[in-house]
């Protein structure tokens, strides 16, 4: 039951403060009660793990949690003291088994102590995640991948493979997702923004703006759903028309098409490969994929990199995955020792940036229209490319 309250703590920073405070109090008290009912000297690893996870998420939000009542503070202090005594006793026992009965050196405060300080004193001790400095990546090393397609075709599952190499059986409708992954490859920093514009099917102007700001396009349809293929064909025509109108000439748009769910039985297939190639032409890279079994996905990611002018090391299997904190620390260290030949040969690494937010529609629109300084006074404005 306490796990339900812990999940409530892990809400985003948009959660109301009062709800977050109540969740923190309830979770702390219920975890404490569970611990105090346990046998002396015993502990529950699952409870402590959930407790620590809640601590890290709650501390990252930056909210102040109001103090508990006197009774609640007494219970929390008692449980914290007992847990500290258990940990101290365990350290002494481990040391005495080696013939040296002395406590180990105090280490950095545990997440359990941090949560206790947060609830009792109303502040968190965890350092907030640093924002990526503006302009830290060269513009020529930044790309935006726009993912389009009908619902329930596997777009989110393919993106999950690209970002974290995982798969989720349960289907959850996606309104709009924006992801950012940062890379350090051969001494250069790269940034890939991924926009899953699934929620823009009913908003042509928003979808057109997303298309105009995209550098690379990933179109996904399901082999057992012919209507999803028809939608991809219409989207491809819309992308070509929008980019042609923007540049006032026909351009080659980097596009990769995934015919997903190839793992299904052949009798459920409603679209043939020949038909897809005939409808979309040779300008698109076509792959029959399975997000569930990870079939041909590595080739898809390689094609996205090649067509988008990115290093092949941006593929999920071609770089070392690290946390964003490790990435920022590693990059800072490399910048401090800039010019070292040894650092230039380090293994490529990449990290998902958890604080990424899609730029506002105004920002995207200014990006499409260009700066005002480039427009000559007295010259009639062309028709807006969004219209």
3-class SS of residue 363: helix
At residue 375, does pLDDT exceed 70?
A: no
How many structural domains does the chain have? Answer: 2
Positive or negative CA dihedral for 71, 73, 79, 84? negative
The residue segments making up the domain with residue 39 are 2-121
**Tens digits of residue pLDDT in 318-369:** 999 999 999 999 888 877 776 544 444 578 999 999 988 988 888 888 888 8
Q: Within a domain: residue 129?
A: no
State the Cα–Cα distance between residues 123 and 67, nearest whole angstrom: 10
Instruction: Average the pLDDT over 377-384 and give the result.
Output: 55
98/164 same-domain check = no
30/68 same-domain check = yes
332/264 same-domain check = yes
Spatial neighbors of 321 by CB under 8 A, at least 6 apart, are 164, 165, 349, 350, 351
Sheet strand arrangement including 320-321: 285-288, 255-260, 216-222, 142-149, 188-196, 177-185, 349-352, 320-321
CA atoms within 13 A on the CB side of 135: 0
State residue 4's pLDDT score: 47
Higher-confidence position of 10 and 244: 244
Helix axis angle, 226-247 relative to 204-213, nearest 10°?
Answer: 60
State residue 71's pLDDT score: 56
Chain Cα centroid distance, residue 244? 32
35/160 same-domain check = no
CA distances from 104 to 40, 94, 101, 180 (A): 22, 9, 9, 42
**Tens digits of residue pLDDT in 292-316:** 898 999 999 999 999 999 999 999 9
At residue 33, does pLDDT exceed 60?
A: no
Calculate what percentage of the chain has a pLDDT beyond 90.
Answer: 41
pTM over 0.75: no
At residue 277, does pLDDT exceed 80?
A: yes
Q: What is the CATH number of the domain that holds 215?
A: 3.40.50.300
């Amino acid at each position: 039951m306490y796990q339900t309250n812990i999940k409530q703590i892990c809400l985003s920073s948009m959660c109301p403060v009062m709800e977050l405070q109540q969740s923190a109090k309830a979770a702390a008290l219920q975890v404490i009660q569970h611990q105090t009912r346990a046998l002396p000297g015993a502990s529950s690893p699952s409870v402590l793990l959930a407790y620590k996870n809640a601590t890290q998420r709650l501390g990252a939000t930056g909210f102040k949690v109001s103090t508990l009542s006197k009774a609640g503070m007494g219970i929390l202090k008692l449980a914290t003291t007992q847990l500290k005594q258990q940990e101290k006793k365990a350290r002494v026992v481990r040391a005495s088994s080696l013939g040296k009965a002395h406590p180990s050196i105090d280490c950095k405060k545990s997440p359990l102590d941090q949560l206790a300080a947060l609830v009792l004193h109303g502040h968190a001790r965890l350092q907030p995640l640093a924002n990526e400095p503006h302009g830290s990546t060269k513009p020529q090393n930044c790309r935006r991948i726009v993912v389009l397609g009908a619902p329930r075709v596997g777009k989110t599952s393919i993106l999950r493979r690209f970002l974290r190499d995982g798969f989720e059986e349960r289907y959850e409708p996606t309104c709009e997702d924006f992801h950012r992954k940062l890379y350090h490859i051969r001494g250069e920093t790269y940034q890939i923004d991924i926009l899953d514009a699934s929620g823009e099917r009913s908003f042509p102007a928003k979808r057109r703006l997303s298309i105009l700001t995209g550098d690379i396009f990933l179109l996904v349809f399901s082999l057992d759903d012919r209507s999803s293929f028809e939608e991809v064909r219409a989207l491809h025509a819309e992308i070509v028309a929008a980019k042609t109108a923007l540049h006032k000439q026909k351009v080659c748009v980097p596009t990769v098409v995934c015919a997903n769910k190839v793992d299904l039985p052949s009798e459920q297939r409603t679209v043939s490969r020949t038909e897809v190639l005939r409808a979309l032409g040779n300008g698109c890279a076509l792959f029959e994929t399975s997000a569930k079994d990870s079939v041909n996905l590595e080739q898809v990611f390689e094609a996205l990199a090649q067509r988008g002018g990115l290093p092949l090391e941006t593929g999920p299997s071609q770089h070392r995955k690290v946390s964003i904190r490790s990435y920022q620390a590693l990059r800072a260290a490399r910048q401090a020792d800039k010019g070292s030949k040894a650092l230039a040969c380090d293994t490529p690494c990449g990290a998902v940036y958890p604080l990424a937010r899609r730029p506002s529609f105004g920002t995207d629109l200014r990006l499409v229209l260009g700066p005002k300084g480039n427009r000559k006074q007295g010259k009639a404005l062309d028709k807006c490319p969004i219209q």
